[in-house]
Chain A
Amino acid sequence: MAIKLTNLPKRGDAVLGILATNKIVFATHESMMSNTLDTSVYEYIGVVLRRSGKKVLYAYKENASKKWSDRYAFKLTGYTLDGTSRTGTLNVRTASDWGAAVAYTISYNASTLSDFVSQLNTAFQDNTNYPALKTQDWYAELDSSNNVVLHFAFSDYRQASNTGSAGFALTANLLPNCTAIANMRRNNGATGGEGAISSMERAIAYFYSDLNSSTYNPTSNVTSIARTYPICKPGYLGTSQYSGGADRCADLRAVFGEGEAGWLKFMESCLPILPTDWGNMGMRNGKERTAHLASQTYVSNTQVTPKALCPAADYCANISTSVLPKGTFWLPTTEEVAYLLKGIKYGTINDRNADIVNALQNKMGGSAISNGSYFWSCLRSNTNNAWYAHGSYGFFYGGVMCYANVCVPVSLYELP
């Protein structure tokens, strides 16, 4: 049987590029699995995740682990530019003990902003007096509104807790034009931030056992089905050893049912509503958001030429293939991450062929998509965090931007 092309692609089918014409075509999963692709005619681009009407959502064959943001930034205020000797203190979290701040008092004598910024940058390179500022590559610059902005290498979530004192004040100022929203609506009526299930397979695996957490195993009676977080199975069934033997979820069971079947129905109620225009799941312009993030660059005392501030977005926006130009792919939205992970069994099942998406990727030499990985979205959830699918809990979580997580470039193809 030859490779069979289809005009009606479905999940698990292959996205191919015709090298001679630079056109995209789709090939059925079955025919791809039983044939060897003629790479003199086609290139394998990726795998179909979903088709809705004429819109085909697909993932690029490869993915990579990248930080959401390379730097953290504060706006500095409180300084006085009067040409006299003054000081201000930066209380900085350092790698020697991220839990405690080291106070660095910086002297300056400036009457203009540019002088002040220049003196700050001189201090930031002083390895004797301010070693952590040097190590973290602190850098001062003026933004377009003449605010003094300090930014530095972002590697631990506690760096967001840096403060200014005694003449300096710091206000978080990372990507001020990137909207932060934390609002997902679940089937059960709950709204708000993290807790909506991103991978049912992973969530079932994690919440199956008895968890010693009041968040996931209520210690008071649950009277509303509008739950923000899932509940572990023993807690739901009233058999947990951590709730003091008390049955906290009888009201839930009266709605969703008894036993494991009832618990699974309850878990379904913790899925985000898809599709909806509500909150993060309604934020669908992933291409524009990624392009905006990818356009952000920085320079510093050690980085002379502009460098991408948002590696995750930069990675996706710069993917190109033999037939597709840069800008075709983007870092997925939370809605697209939800569609990516729907039905992914690899991870909870240790078999690269456990689901149709991974089976094709495996056959074609593409990257694995495991429900045990942490997948970045292009949506920001708050000042320091962006949305990702949590690879342990199986729900959407606000992850600190300084950490590297899996970026799966996605794109939409409109059928003729």
Chain B
Amino acid sequence: MSDEKIVKKFQVLQQKFKIDVLATDTIAAANAAAANANAAAEAANAAAGRSPYIDDTTGTWWVWDATEEDYVDTETSADPQTAKADKADFDNLVNEVADIEENPSDFARVADFESMPKLAGQPMLLFCNGTPSSSNKPTNWIDFMQGGYEWTGLPSAIGQQLLDYTNHVLYFGWLNPSNYQLEWKH
């Protein structure tokens, strides 16, 4: 950095920090600030002209990192098809987030066993100690006060499954087209 530039930078700092140029300690501070400014300007000067490039090996964009004083991998693919796929993944993610925001009461969102995808707000697979009935509720049924709704003894969706683990019977939800009522079949 030229002397002229250093002086100009100092004047800016002087105004910014309202430095009293007549005070000895502030003159020392001003000298230090000028030195820092000089260093920063030199770093910027070093970065000048160091454009991002595509690395042949990784196929990703590399950019100049002034702190490291070296190029670093952004891990962003330079392949238009890959980038397109990344963009699609991102859009899907945005859709999912927007879905949750739009329909917070929809149930099927996450996947481990406890919170596996739901059908009409209840587990896709219910576990029941014996034959399902209005007085025999599956152990994993979600009641109203737990965020679901009350058990009536019948399925809540077409295709919902219920395992009677006592009698080793697997039921599935079926819609009776004559009355639009769901029933268990096995």
Q: Is the CB of B103 within 8 A of A50?
A: yes
Q: Please, how many angstroms separate the alpha-carbon atoms of A255 and B106 in the complex? A: 24
Interface size class of B (residues with CB under 8 A): 20 to 34
A134-149 near B? 1/0 per residue, CB < 8 Å: 0000000000000000
Tell me whether A8 and B98 are in contact (CB under 8 A): yes
Most buried by A among B102, B154, B157: B102
The answer on a CB contact under 8 Å between A187 and B144 is yes
* A371 in contact (CB, < 8 A): no
- Check A278–B102 contact: CB distance below 8 A: no
Asked if A101 is an interface residue, CB under 8 A from chain B, the answer is no
Question: How far, in angstroms, from A279 to B106 measured CA to CA in the complex?
Answer: 19
| Residues of A within 8 A of B (CB-CB), count | 30
Binds B, one of A65-73, A178-186, A399-407: A178-186
B58 on the A face (CB < 8 A) = no
Residue of A186, A189, A268 near B151 (CB, 8 A) is A189
Within 8 A of B (CB), among A41-59: 50-53
Interface digits, B146-161 against A, CB 8 Å rule (1 contact, 0 not)?
A: 0001111010111000
Is B117 located at the chain interface by the 8 A CB criterion?
no
B98-110: contact bitstring with A at CB < 8 Å (1 yes, 0 no)? 1101110010000
Across the interface, B180 reaches (CB within 8 A) one of A8, A51, A283, namely A283
Q: Is the CB of A51 within 8 A of B144?
A: no
Say whether B149 contacts A273, CB under 8 Å.
yes
B181 & A189 in contact (Cβ 8 Å cutoff): no
B88 CB to closest chain A CB (Å) equals: 12
Given A269-B144, A276-B120: A10 and B152 within 8 A (CB)?
A: no
CA A53 – CA B103 in complex, angstroms?
9
* Structural contact, B152 and A191, CB atoms closer than 8 A: yes
Give complex CA distance A181, B102 in Å.
Answer: 31
B98 touches A189 (CB 8 A): no
Closest to A226 in B: B150
Contact call B149/A186, Cβ cutoff below 8 A: yes
A8 to B94, CA, bound (A): 9
Known contacts being A273-B121, A278-B182, is A52 close to B158, with CB within 8 Å? no
Is B136's beta carbon under 8 Å from chain A? no
Q: Is the CB of A189 within 8 A of B149?
A: yes
Cβ-defined partner of B120 (8 Å) among A51, A52, A256, A275: A275
17 new A-B contacts, CB < 8 A, other than A50-B103, A277-B156, are: A8-B95, A50-B102, A52-B102, A52-B103, A53-B99, A181-B180, A185-B149, A185-B152, A186-B149, A187-B144, A187-B149, A189-B149, A276-B120, A276-B121, A277-B158, A278-B181, A279-B180
Q: What are 27 inter-chain pairs, A to B, with CB distance below 8 A? A: A8-B98, A50-B102, A51-B98, A52-B99, A52-B103, A53-B99, A183-B179, A185-B149, A185-B152, A185-B156, A186-B149, A187-B144, A188-B149, A188-B150, A225-B150, A269-B149, A269-B150, A273-B120, A276-B120, A276-B121, A276-B156, A278-B120, A278-B156, A278-B180, A279-B180, A279-B181, A280-B180
Interface of A toward B, CB cutoff 8 Å: 8, 10-11, 50-53, 181, 183, 185-189, 191, 225-226, 255-256, 268-269, 273, 275-280, 282-283
Write the residues of chain B forming the contact surface with A, with a CB cutoff of 8 angstroms: 94-95, 98-99, 101-103, 106, 120-121, 144-145, 149-152, 154, 156-158, 173, 175, 179-182
